[in-house]
Structure 1
Amino acid sequence: MKHIGFLSFGHWTPSRQSQTRSAADALLQSIDLAVAAEELGADGAYFRVHHFARQLASPFPLLAAVGARTRRIEIGTAVIDMRYENPLYMAEDAGAADLIAGGRLQLGISRGSPEQVIDGFRYFGYAPPEGMTDADMARRHTEVFLEVLKGEGFAKPNPRPMFSNPPGALRLEPFSEGLRERIWWGAGTNATAEWAAKLGMNLQSSTLKIDESGEPFHVQQAKQIRVFRDAWKEAGHTRTPRVSVSRSIFALVSDQDRMYFGHDDRSDQVGLLSETERAIFGRSYAAEPEALIEQLKADEAIAEADTLLLTVPNQLGVDYNAHVIEAILKHVAPALGWR
């Protein structure tokens, strides 16, 4: 059995061709799609976070709203850029959203990706200290975030507080039990996957990673997952970690599907994230169900993962995206043993 969810970037544009023409559309349609996905039997509703862009940004109001409208489906991010985050304030927001959702939050975090602006985190008031890179700063914010999610007291109480305190040092409130075990790290390299395992985070591996061997994307990604699991075992954690991969997958079951995706490029792409970082981007899958099933059988990383996130073209509207999810659940997942 695989957990199957959707991942939305929440794009919006004031264009006649888009059914998501404003930020309000993107947010409200995200809630509606999560409700529809739950009704279809999907396992997760995940959202990407990008700053300074016409996309979903601040995730916690959306996560809380989805949590209030649904009852079963997992609710998550893939991913939040930790360079921009105050880890203590984030822990309060995450705790509140998780409590509203009844403990269904699956929070994906990372050092982030190429941005719309130069060093956008500086506008949020964060700058790496001397000798530290922005990636180091993201990992430091993450370590603080994970520490406060343990729920242990660390702040000295005021001897004359406005309200009575429990005894001892105070922790952040609201605290949500178990959230610490539902934090995922979006790893772009084998080394960061290993680091995430040592800290006891689950692994999110996206449709992009740093090209470390020149092999096909799904082969490199499968190796990254095995590195993660080996490091997890070596760290001595007692629970079983979870691993997700993201894919653009479309079962062509209607003329509309064929019009939109029948001519998609079906090969990996290679590009430069920076002057020194060469990245490999995973291929899209779009085919009739029988052919699609055979193609997906050959994807080593999907086979390794326990969770599959389907990236959805959110600007095509809630109804069409619900159809995309339903087509995978109905025509593809059972034949692959995912259902």
Structure 2
Amino acid sequence: MRAIVIEQFGVLPTIQDVPTPEPAAGGVVLRVEATGLCRSDWHGWQGHDSDIVLPHVPGHELAGTITAVGEGVNGWQVGDRVTTPFICACGQCEQCKEGNHQVCPNQLQPGFNYWGSFAEYVALPFAEVNLVRMPESLDFDTAAGLGCRFATSFRAVHQVGRVEAGENVVIFGCGGVGLSAVMIAAALGARVIAVDTNPAALELARSYGATDTVQAAPETVQAIRDLTGGGAHVTMDALGSNEIVQQALLALRPRGRHLQVGLLPSGVRLDVSRLIGQELEWLGSHGMAAHTYPEMLDLVASGNLRPADLITRTIGLDEVPEALDALTAGTPAGVTVIRP
């Protein structure tokens, strides 16, 4: 099969012919119909993830068709249209038994722990726990974007952040995660303020439900406090930046909630005294379990959520190295989907 292969961190990957994977016991192999290009893939390419062993095939947001089923897999067969969270949980540990698959200590992530979906085929472990059957009305491009960015934002905003109608919610960073969060928070009835350096991204944020937009600048915090009458109820760092974290915490009103979704490979500085004195909440959110997808899929089917609108570009494998390299300069507006 053809696949994008990283041989050195930070050096452009190449397209190579590599062996097609075989299904492990309990797992399946999919023909990749669509896969998303995510900033997490860029972090992996740069060497920010210690789980990656070279040579490596990235890619963790995916949808496809089952082509092979491993021993011991029940309920799934060749030809099924499926997607999956980027966190493949074991289903057997204490956290999994409590329903917290997204923090499973035995989790395996395609594109990080093993070869991923920037290829014509990909293997998935623990199939019975992690596969999500796609409704007939859901296309592969849209489904691919659900597994990381959209599902991550849905759980962060709705389940972890507890966003309610009428609250002021500020989303910092309008890439795929941030724009998903804008759409979801707006659908929940929140007043959404989007912050980014890119005017095109802010324009998209308005079309997805942002009431106000702020172009990132030294005056960002004051602009937010003015718009919200004293500070936001919820802020979210959808990009991953120490500078954003500082602005997000300063933009909160007392007893506000901060959602950290963007990765922070270089660490972060926290004013713990402010967290204590203002009774602020710092909330980490990491993915979403497969068994919690039905609520999100129902909202997509009803038209209340429109993840297909977030897709702004579709490319083939040949264009992936250049697209991955472009992330070095910043996150483009919208979601890029790869069709291998």
TM bucket by the smaller chain? under 0.3
User: TM-score scaled to structure 2, two decimals?
Assistant: 0.28
Higher strand share: 2
Higher helix share: 1
